[in-house]
Amino acid sequence: MSTTWNEGAAAVALLTFDVDAETPVLAEGHRYAEHAMTMSHQAYGPDVGVPRLLDLLDDLQVPATFFVPGWVAEQRPGLAERIQDRGHEVAHHSYSHRAPTHMAPAEEREDFERALRVFADQDIEIHGHRAAMWAATWNTATLVAEHGLVYDSSLMGDDRPYALDTGAGRIVELPVHWSLDDWQQYAFLPEPAIGSVIESPRKALELWKAELDAMRHYGCLFNLTSHPFLTGRPSRALALRALIEHAQDRGDVRFARCVDVALAAGADATLATRPVQRRPADPAVYPDW
């Protein structure tokens, strides 16, 4: 039985942008709100990077998905609407950008639902979710299903879409990977230590082109995660343009929004389904040091 989620393409490309703004820094401690340089470094994302990237996407006529923390949408009224009005998807990226793995279950639920309330107040329709820092817990997928969302994009169990049986409903997982994240290429701040690398965009472009071409060979989902405060910088934006043009020149890569791939995958009878299942870890065998 042939797959249908890819609609005949050799690979499907998702361009996803995590519009984190100040939230990853504030998640390290509210004291960073007093650091003007650090706050301006993060504000560059929504203030400069997002408009630049929206223009780039318009120019190349490709759709994208923007994962926006609820706090960012709340602090910048109209931002999510402007993204949506340009034909792109806005998706759930927590409220606070605190890692769910650092929260109690009740805290994770409140943070998740608080973001949904922000988007509802702004009339932004939400179909999918990505955990802050990709740090999903064993409760995360159940929250996604329970609140009627179609997909999650936080896990790394495959390089093609797969289904998760959460017990609260079936959702589609659109898997990610560190090799397709601009954070590992560009993230640098002296304090807090969110990263310590500033790679050449040529290196990142070479890496992502190689991965895309290999995924075309294997029929995969190319799920690129970018951050406007990183990839929105001039030379990096041009590297992203070159990557998109490389994919377009191949002639067999389909660009899509996450929700469109998730809906197609959910209707694909060949899609693998996996339980949301925690493996036992005996503390006598695996102690916390």
Query: Tens digits of per-residue pLDDT, 29-73?
Result: 999 999 999 999 999 999 999 999 999 999 999 999 999 999 999
What is the per-residue pLDDT for 193?
86
> Could you give the domains of the chain?
11-275 (3.20.20.370)
- 238-265, pLDDT tens digit by residue? 999 999 999 999 999 999 999 999 999 9
Residue 100 near residue 135 (C-beta atoms within 8 A): yes
Mean pLDDT of 82-105: 98
Q: What pLDDT, in 10s, does the model give residues 170-217?
A: 999 999 999 999 999 999 999 998 889 999 999 999 999 999 999 999
Condensed to tens digits (0 to 9), the pLDDT of residues 117-136 reads 999 999 999 999 999 999 99
Interval 59-69: pLDDT, tens: 999 999 999 99
d(CA 182, CA 4): 29
**CA atoms 79, 83, 84, 85: torsion sign:** positive
**Residue listed under structure tokens 């996450």:** 258
Query: pLDDT band for position 277 (50/70/90)?
Result: confident
Shortest CA distance to 61 belongs to which of 230, 241, 250? 241
pLDDT reading at 289 higher than 80: no
- For the segment 19-23, the average pLDDT, to the nearest whole number, is 98
Rounded-to-integer distance, Cα 264 and Cα 133, Å: 26
Quote the pLDDT of residue 195. 85
Percent of the chain with pLDDT over 90: 93
> Taking the complete model, does pTM exceed 0.95, yes or no?
yes
Give the mean model confidence (pLDDT) for residues 96-123. Answer: 98
Answer whether residue 1 shows pLDDT above 60: no
Average of per-residue pLDDT across 79-92? 98
